[in-house]
Amino acid sequence: GHKSPKNSHSTAESTAPPICTTMMSKVIVAMALFGATTEAAFKMGRPAVVAEGNPYADVDAFYVNPSYKTELQGSIDTASGTVKATLTSMLDVPSAYWIDVKSKILGNGTSSVQGILTDAASKSTPPLVTLIVYDLPNRDCKAKASNGEICCIYNDDGTCDYDTDPGTCDNGLKEYYDDYIDPFASILADFEGKVPIVLIIEPDSLANMATNMADPHCSNSASAYETGIPYAIKALKTACPSCSLYMDAAHGGWLGWEDGYTSFVSLVKDLGIETYLRGFATNVANYQTIGTQCSSDTDCIQGPNKDDPCCADPCDLLSQYNRANNEMNYVSILKTAMTSSMPSFEPHFIIDSGRNGVADMRNDCANWCNARGAGVGYIPTTETNNPANVDAYFWLKTPGESDGCTQYIPDPSDPTGMTKGDACPRYDSMCGSTDSLGSKSGEPYSPEAGKWFDYQIKMLAENAVLYNDDDAAVTDDTPSTTDDAPSTDDHSSDCADLYDQCGGIGWTGATTCCSGTCTAEGDYYSQCSPSTVA
């Protein structure tokens, strides 16, 4: 799971327009290793050749997966007003594609690495493709449900046995290498120099090693992680020297304490992976605010300038002596620690802005699953608050894809998601938190992780902050209509449709519901909920 404070811790193709106006030097493609086989390159001890420069700068197009456009269009078709306008504006916004199962490596369609890169290479200007590498043995060891596809030891039902010490996890690692990393690397080699590629490496893995070794599930997975991660990074970089690799670095609400980030830095150094990396990705699939970076003389905890905007602290981290109250401050802290430990390493960062448009919608920032009241964050851009540290804000978690299921998944015959379906086999109790969609009456059941969540994407659009500029907000002046309201009556503009916002601090729209009841979901968000739930 994607932890937070005190949780010790498809059809037509589309290419997105440029996301960046800040021009940097072009990526210099280093070809010294091209042609060497993955295994041979490591055994010969050849040094990594790192792609130079910000991969998101100076490229002309960014890949938008056709399957994303199809899912989004389905939600657009049943939306109205500003939500519909916002969703429509998102159709050509690029996001990362998660390679979270072995079956997504090979194939002709745009749900596989091979198919996506083939599609991208066919364009007159091949767009930059961002992929998430995510299939370690015993993946996501801190989760309350078995989320791994590859296991060190399998239970009879095919899930991972996290409770038994697997020793060196030889079987799981062999499966990871043979069926996932090596085929992945082979495909990347086929497109080396033809398609610009960014890889985000194994979300949550090193962060779990840094902070959660007291959990037997994670200590039993440590050998898989500490052996598998260096293998993956070296294999992928050797196969594709021009690829830019960013290791996942959790977020400030997880690793922002000194013991957390120093442990993480030590792991990076001990594993010897820094020379292969462009840097790190933060806030992947989470909701932490980007914020603004404090100057070196600002002390948000004890200083006289703690009222500076850079000290805004929606997750109450500063009172816990965590200075990573926003992701810009976290990046600054982590970069300083990295360069102090490894003076020749100057990491750069990507921050996931897919769903952090609202800073303070959670009662407890440890709740990471389908957060109620969240909004889409800044569209991908290289115009970051500190380009020297942060290469880009990018949608690494695709907005609209579920974080995980409620105890029961929605019945597929009911498009509203309000009808209870089968028990979810991978239910994580964190997805039943008080901040999670589906935990309150009047909310639909949540689908499994990665599945499209129509109710959520409309909420995210309702609360979106797409630009770091209030004047750039998406507006729509057409009369509000909806295809999925329970009544066919025309609704006047003074009432909100079912599941639309109807109140909250700063809300200026309708405060009565055309049907149902306006229900407060916190100080900043109220929505129209059905009066009764089937």
- Which residues have a catalytic role annotated? 204, 403
199 and 244 Cβ atoms separated by less than 8 Å: yes
- 389 assigned ligand-binding residue: no
C-alpha span between 323 and 334 (Å, rounded)? 11
- 397 assigned ligand-binding residue: yes
Residue 478 CA to its chain's centroid (Å): 33
Residue 258 neighbours by CB under 8 Å, 6+ apart: none
282 and 252 Cβ atoms separated by less than 8 Å: yes
C-alpha span between 365 and 326 (Å, rounded)? 12
- 401 assigned ligand-binding residue: yes
- 254 assigned ligand-binding residue: yes
Which neighbouring-strand residues pair with 28? 52
Burial of 18 from C-beta contacts in 10 A (0-12 / 13-18 / 19+): middle
Task: Give the three-class secondary structure for 94.
Answer: coil
* Residue closest to 237 by CA, chosen among 204, 201, 202, 269: 201
- Report the interhelical angle of 182-190 vs 222-239 (nearest 10°): 20
- 54 assigned ligand-binding residue: no
344 and 353 Cβ atoms separated by less than 8 Å: no
322 and 254 Cβ atoms separated by less than 8 Å: no
C-alpha span between 70 and 73 (Å, rounded)? 5
Task: Give the three-class secondary structure for 99.
Answer: strand
* Residue closest to 206 by CA, chosen among 177, 249, 173, 244: 249
C-alpha span between 381 and 369 (Å, rounded)? 25
290 and 326 Cβ atoms separated by less than 8 Å: yes
44 and 3 Cβ atoms separated by less than 8 Å: no
- For the annotated binding site, the residues are 98, 100, 251, 254, 286, 368, 397, 401
- For the annotated binding site for substrate, the residues are 98, 100, 251, 254, 286, 368, 397, 401
